[in-house]
Amino acid sequence: MHVDDTPVPVLAPGSGKTKTGRLWVYARDERPFAGVRPPAALFRYSADRKGEHPRAQLQEFTGVIHADGYTGFNELFAGKRIAEAGCWAHVRRKFFDVHAATGSPIAKEALDRIGQLYAIEAAITGCSPEHRRRERQQRSRPIAAALAEWADDTVRKLSRKSDLAAAFRYMRSRRTALGRCFDDGRLALDNNPAERALRCVAIGRKNYLFAGSDAGGHRAAAMYSLIETAKLNGLDPQLYLTDVLGRIADHPARQIAELLPWHWQPADLSRTAA
């Protein structure tokens, strides 16, 4: 499971101002390891960013989640029910920002080393979990080990107050979580599926400005779940929602699963083709 969150402005009753709510996304995409379950994105709204919200939303989940280091997730990882997989894209981004700002050759070397991991990933996308695990064990793990050794030696020579040192500290502090993908071919190298699912929220913030209430935030989460899941399954969200909303009142409740994006078939095929 890929997990992330983003702020969303919400109208605060009686104040004429907005407060900051959160939209959480829980994304599943098994296509990179030839999985059989359809991709999906589930959104949830909360009035704040307290860690109690993802804990409640994931109270029945068991497995591995990709996350970006948010401390609110730490209690999830305290037991054996949920394990954490780190995000190499977040690591790369911190070095990229330093290199873009200063042209640091050390940051460039970090980017090149991380780039080697992504080159291997590009070659094994769509392969079976066992093949991915084997390739990562043979090819990716040695690169990550050499990167870790180089980082340990390099960071000692840097000012602790520098952004470059901060990038190294982030990577070193998450070494275990970042290495988990090398032992499990189902895992991804990063948390990008969740970040991609949140792009629609960023676009929305520039258009609708804010949600009208907390109830509106929950409605937005429901709509985003349908829209993003439709997109993940190769559907036109507007076409999908237009068809479903027009049919749902007369659709048998026991057959409601037929209208989920991965089962849906349009009622009027000729009109859809046009």
pLDDT in tens, 18-67: 999 999 999 999 999 999 999 999 999 999 999 999 999 999 999 999 99
| 185 found inside a domain | no
Verify that 169 and 99 share a domain, yes or no. Answer: yes
Residue 16 falls inside a structural domain:
yes
pLDDT above 70 covers a percentage of the chain that reads 97
Q: How many whole angstroms separate alpha carbon 95 and alpha carbon 44?
A: 31
Nearest one of 83, 82, 104, 80 to 94, comparing CA atoms: 104
CA atoms within 13 A on the CB side of 245: 9
pLDDT at 75: 86
Helix, coil or strand: residue 200: helix
CA–CA dist 3, 24 (Å, integer): 7
**If pLDDT is split at 50, 70 and 90, which confidence band does 220 have?**
very high
State the pLDDT at residue 78: 86
**Statement: residue 272 has pLDDT above 80:** no
The CA distance from 193 to 187, in Å, is 12
The answer to whether residue 37 sits within a structural domain is yes
Do 81 and 92 lie in a common domain? no
Identify whether residues 247 and 221 lie together within a single domain: no
79 & 106 share domain = no
**The pLDDT of residue 269:** 58
Average pLDDT over every residue of 138-157: 97
Residues 15 and 74 in one domain: yes
* Domain shared by 146 and 261, yes or no: no
41 CB-side CA count, 13 A: 29
pLDDT category at 211 given cuts 50, 70, 90 is confident
On the question of pLDDT at 145 being above 80, the answer is yes
pLDDT, one tens digit per residue, over 254-269 is: 999 999 999 999 886 5
> DSSP alpha helices (H): ranges in 64-198?
88-102, 105-124, 129-135, 141-155, 163-173, 175-179, 192-197
Under the banding of pLDDT at 50, 70 and 90, the label for residue 112 is very high
pLDDT of residue 128: 97
- Evaluate if residue 270 carries a pLDDT over 90: no
Residue 103 lies in a domain: yes
Q: Are residues 253 and 266 in the same domain?
A: yes
Half-sphere exposure of 2 toward its Cβ, with a 13 Å CA cutoff? 21
Q: What b/e readout covers 227-249, taking b as 16+ CB neighbours within 10 angstroms?
A: bbbbbbbebebeebeebbeeeee
Same domain, 70 and 33: yes
Half-sphere exposure for 68 (CA within 13 Å, toward CB): 16
Residues 98 and 75 in one domain: no
pLDDT at position 226: 96
Alpha carbons 207 and 156: distance in angstroms, whole number: 47
Predicted local confidence at residue 271, as pLDDT: 54
Cβ neighbours, 10 Å, residue 66 = 25
16 pLDDT tier (thresholds 50, 70, 90): confident
pLDDT at res. 54: 92
**Do 94 and 162 sit in the same domain of this protein?**
yes
Residue 81 placed within a domain: yes
Q: What is the mean pLDDT of residues 243-249?
A: 93
Q: What pLDDT is stored for residue 106 in this prediction?
A: 97
Q: How many CB atoms lie within 10 A of CB 201?
A: 19
Residue 199 lies in a domain: yes
User: Token pair for residue 158?
Assistant: 């840097």
Q: What range defines the domain where residue 244 resides?
A: 237-273
Residue 12: inside a domain, yes or no?
yes
Residue 134 has pLDDT above 80, yes or no: yes
Separation of alpha carbons 194 and 5, rounded Å: 8
Quick one: 130 and 149 in the same domain? yes
pLDDT in the model for residue 139: 98
Same domain, 142 and 214: no
Residue 21 within a domain? yes
Q: How many residues does the chain have?
A: 274
Domain count, the chain: 3
